[in-house]
Amino acid sequence: MLKLDILVLSVHPDDAELGCSGTILKHIAHGKKVGMVDLTRGELGTRGSAEIRDQEAAASAKILGLAVRENLGLPDGFFENTREYQLKVIAAIRKYQPSIVITNAYHDRHPDHGRANELVETSAFLAGLRKIETSVESALQDAWRPDLVLHFIQDNYIRPDILIDVTDFWDKKIESIRAFGSQFHNPEWEGEPQTYISSPEFINVVAARAMEFGKSIGVKYAEGFTSRKILGVDNLFSLK
């Protein structure tokens, strides 16, 4: 069994690259095992197709150095926080037994993001209840509840509860975003309709947000996270 330190559960392939790939890269560089389970294939995206997104997600997984990247194939735009989908997310959490789960922002421009946050938060709790039975390849799974669920910040400004310095990993983060050539500004895709995220300015906005967060802690780039749980640290000097 592959046990992960961090499991990233986000709704669209590319959300995690935008929201938390610097943090992923940093923890992998520190020897942590990180994997991703995307909830949908992003099949409703205006540009490209589900097949192209699959290839882009695989290319980005290589850039990031993920231990695994899977897709649950939930219906983009139409999944709900219901038993049917909770059981799929519970099975994914139990399969990899992560200490930390990272998921989408609790509210955002795209309504899927907030719904994914609720679905993952609910499922992370339920995954710890042993009377809920799930199986993988017909073997019954053990109950597992992650210690912590964090939410990254994507389009809407949300005041973060913690900031992670990702300055050393910024270029690699941009490379992982650029792996989604169909979604972001790319001269090869000029004939396709333009979207909110495909304009050349979009990447500048991602950088501006990270620089604004970075400034708060005296570094160049940072990623922000929120948590429903109150967070603690070993001692005050771990804070900056």
Residue ranges binding Zn ion (CB under 5 A): 12, 15, 110
Beta bridge partners of residue 69, listed in sequence order: 36
Residues pairing with 14 in the sheet: none
Nearer to Zn ion, 5 or 15 (CB): 15
Q: Least distance from C-beta 72 to Zn ion, angstroms? A: 15
Give the shortest CB-238-to-Zn ion separation in angstroms: 32
From the number of C-beta atoms within 10 Å of its C-beta (0-12, 13-18, 19+), residue 234 rates as: exposed
Distance CA 121, CA 115 (A): 10
Nearer to Zn ion, 5 or 14 (CB): 14
- Integer CA distances (angstroms), 148 to 115, 128, 175, 232, 236, in order: 19, 12, 28, 11, 20
Q: Nearest distance from residue 49's CB to Zn ion, in Å?
A: 16
Choose between 5 and 184: whose C-beta lies nearer to Zn ion.
184
CB-CB neighbours of 10 under 10 Å: 29
Residue nearest Zn ion, Cβ-based: 12
Give least dist CB 61 to Zn ion, A. Answer: 17
Least Cβ distance, residue 4 to Zn ion (angstroms): 22
33-46: b (≥16 Cβ within 10 Å) or e: bbbbbbbbbbeebe
Nearer to Zn ion, 169 or 180 (CB): 180
Contact 71, 84 (CB under 8 A): no
Closest to Zn ion by CB, 110 or 209: 110
Of 50 and 132, the one with the shorter C-beta distance to Zn ion is: 50
Q: How far is the CB of 170 from Zn ion (least distance, A)?
A: 21
Nearer to Zn ion, 12 or 26 (CB): 12
As given in the structure block, the two tokens for residue 204 are: 């500048």
From its phi and psi, is residue 149 left (phi > 0), alpha (psi between -120 and 50) or beta?
beta
Q: How far is the CB of 203 from Zn ion (least distance, A)?
A: 16
Q: Which residues 6+ apart lie within 8 Å of 216 measured at CB?
A: 163, 222
